[in-house]
Structures are given as structure tokens and as C-alpha cells.
Amino acid sequence: MNTISAFRRTLTCAAALAAGVAAGHAQVTITSADMFNQVGQYYLTYANSTSSNSTVAVPLTMLGSPSTNAQAWDFTTGPQDVTNRYDYVTAGSTPYGADFVAVGAKIAQQLTPVGTTNALEWLYFTQDPTKGMLDYGFYNPTFSPAQPESVFTNALRDFPASIHYGDSWSGTTVFYSTESLAGFGDFPVQLTYTSTDTVDAFGLVTLPDLGFLSCLRVHELDEYDIAFDLGDGTGYQEAGTQYVLNYYWLAPGHGMVVQINSAQGATAPPDDLGGQAATLERMFQANHPVTTNTTPTTISGLRFTLSGGVALLQWTAQAGVNSYTLQYTTNLAAPIVWQSLGTTASNFMLDPAAATPGAPFRYYRVVGATGSK
């Protein structure tokens, strides 16, 4: 649903290293703990300006393609016309939150362009422990200056609680807005929104300042069935369908780190977006701590090998454990803040940022999980 609220982040050497690492890279699992859904979390992105309806070149070498083999995506360069800050606040603390709280929203994602003091947009949601991220609507003057607030008739699952390579999900909701037509006035609009998502690729993504991260790529097709009420007593009349194609890159401990959105059109965009995108947004800074005062059962035999600036961490596989989460911290003083590097069914993982110049020393642990996915 990120398209509606505009949320939904030497180079040759970097690309070569990423490709080499990706060749033997294990698939990761993204969970709710990796996403941004807690009050106080925030992240910053670089994005292109959308004020002039300009587009961004996105060659196939940037997008990649569906594959059963690991890939490498380099987003260290890209448009920096706008810097956005996304803060996560209680839904009721926002100026327009009451209607969304009434239907179940607890958290609001708040967009504020850096250099300004006024937040522009809010996406309202709840993080359900079993269903995942449930969206309840948005407030966005860019979408409709005449009616910025739209509450969904039913909650829409944006991302499941656990996401793996090969997963698919979809959802449909209805919301209402107002369209201003020059010379004719304002008309109520009913939009039936359907999103269809597939995790079609995995590998490593390289980001400005954040370096290499394991990731999954999500292919999402959005469909908007539009109906107008012209005030003639016939109710809402169908006016056509618009489509938007989105790509999201999700990384452990960082959530959505890159998003690319196509322009909307009357037909579904091609998977390669025709080489052009309406939006390209890349994360370069994040505050996503996971704080704990307890010590969970860890896995033994953790071994560390550093080669070419990339750390290979291996551990002893344990009977009854079907997934392992590799975590690190830079400070062992209580309360310890552990950051997730990813979850895997294998007994190894790579940390490409372990030897980043000037980076603090990292302490690692592996936590095992039992039971079915």
C-alpha cells in the first residue's frame, strides 16, 4: 500500500565484491522484528523529486530479475533531490489519528522532508503478531488535496509476519476520496484497491552509508478500480482501472531499504518498467534497535573467518532447530541492544560490513528457533 501514501532507500569494486558475496549467499527470512513498527524507530532516505512528474532511469541491471540464484543490487548511487525522514509514532498522537484509532490502528508512519518542520503524510497501521502489518488507511494531501484522509473499509495486510523467498500474498480493500475536476467541481470517488505480492529474488543489496545487507526482493502489482459519483442519483459508476508496479527490497534489521515505483497507467506495467520509474527511494540511515534484558538459548561453535573485508560466521547445527538468527552488538553493557543480520535455515551467514573502516567492533551471537515456519 506504500504507493498510495508515497512511503511504501570505487563503484566498480563495490559491485564486484557484492557479486562475489552473493554467489554463495543463503536466503534470509524477514520477520516482523525486522520491520519498522515500534514507536521511536525511524529511518532516512534519498529520493527523486516527484513534483514535476519526472522519471528515473532504472535499467534491468538495476532491477535484476526473478531467479533461484542469489543476486547483487547496487543502490549506492541514485537521485538525491529529496531527503525524507520516516518516524514511527502512536497513531493517536497525530493530528488526524482519531478516525484510524477508532478502526484499530495503533502506529503511524510519519513522513517529514528533511529541512522542513511539518510532517506531510501518515500511514496508519497495526503490527499483528500472526497476521503481520495491517494498514487501516492514510492521510496524504498529495493524493487528494480535497480529501487527504482515507480510512479503509477493512484492514489490508501490507506485509506478513514472516516473509521467505518464494512467498506470495494478496489483499483487497475499499476506500473513498474526492477528485477535483477543473471547471466541474469536486466528485466523490470510490477506489477498490488490490495488491498482489511475490518474493521473486534474493541476495545482497548495497546502500549509501549502510553498506551490504542481505535482502529479499518483492514484486507487487497494485490495481485501482475507480468509480465516480457524479451526483445524478445513479450512485458510483465505474470509470476504469489504473495499475502501478512496485519493487521492494527488504533487509534484516532494516525493513524496506529500497523501493521503486512505476508511473500509474491503464495497463499493467512490464516487469522491467520499460526502463523508467516514477519513484526511486533508498535508505541511508536507520534507528532500529532491538533491546532485551534476557539471554535466550544460543547455539554453540560460533566461528569467525575474515576474508576480503567480509566475515563468514559459522556455527554448529543443532537437532530440532530449523532456523538460526545471527545478531550483533557493538556494546556489551546492559541493556544490550542486539541488531539482526538475518535468519537462515543454514549454519552459516556472511556479514559484509564487519570490516568497514571506522566501524565499531562487533560481538556476535546466534539464536535458534524450533517449530514450523
* Domain interval for residue 351: 291-369
Distance separating alpha carbons of residues 159 and 259, to the nearest angstrom? 14
The DSSP letter of residue 99 is H
Residue 107 and residue 94: Cα distance in Å, rounded? 10
Confirm if 106 and 89 have CB atoms less than 8 A apart. no
Q: How far apart are CA 216 and CA 199, in angstroms?
A: 7
275 and 306 in one domain? no
pTM confidence score: 0.75
Residue 3 maps to a domain: no
Point out the domain boundary residue: 238, 255, 288. 288
Most confident listed range (176-185, 279-288, 355-364): 279-288
| pLDDT greater than 70 at residue 156 | yes
Check which CATH number belongs to the domain holding 299 and give it: 2.60.40.10
Computed on alpha carbons and rounded to an integer, the radius of gyration of the chain in Å comes to 21
47 and 103: one domain? yes
In angstroms, what CA-CA distances link 42 with 36, 133, 260? 7, 17, 20
Residue whose C-alpha cell reads 554453540 in the numeric block: 300
351, part of any domain? yes
For residues 226 and 262, membership in a common domain is answered with yes
Question: Do 254 and 317 belong to one domain?
Answer: no
Residue 106 lies in a domain: yes
Task: Indicate the residue among 273, 288, 303 that finishes a domain.
Answer: 288
The C-alpha cell that represents 255 in the structure block: 525493513
Distance CA 118, CA 27 (A): 40
Domain boundary among 266, 288, 310: 288
5 found inside a domain: no
* pLDDT level of residue 349 (50, 70, 90 thresholds): confident
Q: What SS3 class is residue 15?
A: helix
Taking only the tens place, the pLDDT of each residue in 189-221 is 999 999 999 999 999 899 999 888 889 999 999
For residues 69-108, b (16+ Cβ closer than 10 Å) or e, as one string?
ebbbbbbbebbeebebbbbbbebeebeebebbbeeebbbb
Residue 73: left if φ>0, alpha if ψ -120 to 50, beta else—which one? beta
Query: Is the domain of 127 the same as that of 199?
Result: yes
Contact 175, 193 (CB under 8 A): yes
Nearest to 349 by CA among 252, 229, 250, 242: 252
Same domain flag for 128 and 106? yes
Domain count, the chain: 2
Query: Which tens digit of pLDDT belongs to each residue from 240-293?
Result: 999 999 999 999 989 999 999 999 999 999 999 999 999 999 999 999 875 444
* CA-closest candidate to residue 304, choices 337, 253, 351, 336: 351
Name the pairing type of β-strands 255-261 and 236-251.
antiparallel
Residues 262 and 302 in one domain: no
> pLDDT for 33-62, tens place per residue?
899 999 999 999 999 988 767 789 998 889
Share of the chain above pLDDT 90, in %: 53
Q: Are residues 183 and 229 in the same domain?
A: yes
Q: Based on the domain organization, do 59 and 36 belong to the same domain? A: yes
